[in-house]
């Protein structure tokens, strides 16, 4: 088995190979399995951390509490103030689930982020969009729809230009940008890892590689190691960015500016 068989495959971005069942509505492919396993890990982390609580947290309880408090401080309170504390369970679930499905990109023998399938970022974006839209109508009533796209202080003559732009930006563009940002960053990371893996494989492992090629093999390998570490950072940042933007949008729905 050569190195290239153990490392990321760019074709996985385009091929839908079923692991369980044929290519029909009940097929379970690699991405579906990663999403299910990530869900189980997320539930287990907070279930074990929340049910086996000790006065001095240790082990999984320590990880769960530290993670939850980090989201509360850096997302809920930062974006919404004290009122945001009641939203922390939602934000923590969103952040950790995105993180776990992102982190597959650096897991050996998998090395493929589930979020590089556009369907998953789109699903997450629709969850975010539905949450802040429904929250706006619950908190503000029917006036939310128009007040959200009619900024105060704008001259009447400019409203004919500003209102369509605000409508497009807040109701249509927000979910699209949330999905594309997550999808594009994780896909780019996967492609970079695949490129450096292929270069390393071609220079160091293939039989037709000469001494000159082998001598340069450590360079792409070091790049592979560096970008793997960077991909771990990107997995955290993208989960945080998605979550904090969702919190900001919900805050606008809870606290109208007008």
Where are the strands (E) in the chain, listed by range?
Answer: 18-20, 28-29
Task: Give the least confident one: 7-16, 50-59, 121-130, 145-154.
Answer: 7-16
**Residue environment code for 84-104, b if the CB has 16+ CB neighbours within 10 A, otherwise e:** beebbebbbebbbbbbbbbbb
Residue-wise pLDDT for 72-115, tens only, equals 999 999 999 898 899 999 999 999 999 999 998 888 777 788 89
Q: Between residues 166 and 10, which one has the greater pLDDT? A: 166
Residue-wise pLDDT for 206-216, tens only, equals 555 555 566 66
Residues β-bridged to residue 28: 20
Residue-wise pLDDT for 103-113, tens only, equals 988 887 777 88
Tokens linked to 91: 């934000």
Q: Dihedrals φ, ψ of 89, to 5°?
A: -55, -40
Q: Helix (H, G, I), strand (E, B), or coil: what is residue 68? A: helix
């Amino acid at each position: 088995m050569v190195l290239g068989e153990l490392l990321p495959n760019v074709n996985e971005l385009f091929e839908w190979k079923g692991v369980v069942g044929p290519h029909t509505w009940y097929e379970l492919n690699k991405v579906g399995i990663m999403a299910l396993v990530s869900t189980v890990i997320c539930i287990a982390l907070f279930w074990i951390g929340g049910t086996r609580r000790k006065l001095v947290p240790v082990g999984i309880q320590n990880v769960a509490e530290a993670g939850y408090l980090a989201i509360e401080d850096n997302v809920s309170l930062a974006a919404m103030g004290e009122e945001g504390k009641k939203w922390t369970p939602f934000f923590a679930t969103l952040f950790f689930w995105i993180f776990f499905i992102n982190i597959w990109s650096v897991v050996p023998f998998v090395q493929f982020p589930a979020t590089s399938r556009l369907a998953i970022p789109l699903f997450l974006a629709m969850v975010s969009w539905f949450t802040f839209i429904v929250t706006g109508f619950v908190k503000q009533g029917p006036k939310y729809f128009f007040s959200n796209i009619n900024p105060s202080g704008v001259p009447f003559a400019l409203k004919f230009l500003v209102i369509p732009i605000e409508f497009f930006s807040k109701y249509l563009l927000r979910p699209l940008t949330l999905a594309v940002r997550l999808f594009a960053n994780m896909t780019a990371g996967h492609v970079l890892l695949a490129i450096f893996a292929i270069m390393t494989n071609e220079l160091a492992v293939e039989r037709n590689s000469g001494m000159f090629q082998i001598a340069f093999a450590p360079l792409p390998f070091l790049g592979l190691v560096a970008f793997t570490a960077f991909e771990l950072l990107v997995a955290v940042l993208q989960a945080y960015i998605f979550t904090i933007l969702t919190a900001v949008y919900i805050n606008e729905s809870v606290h109208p500016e007008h």
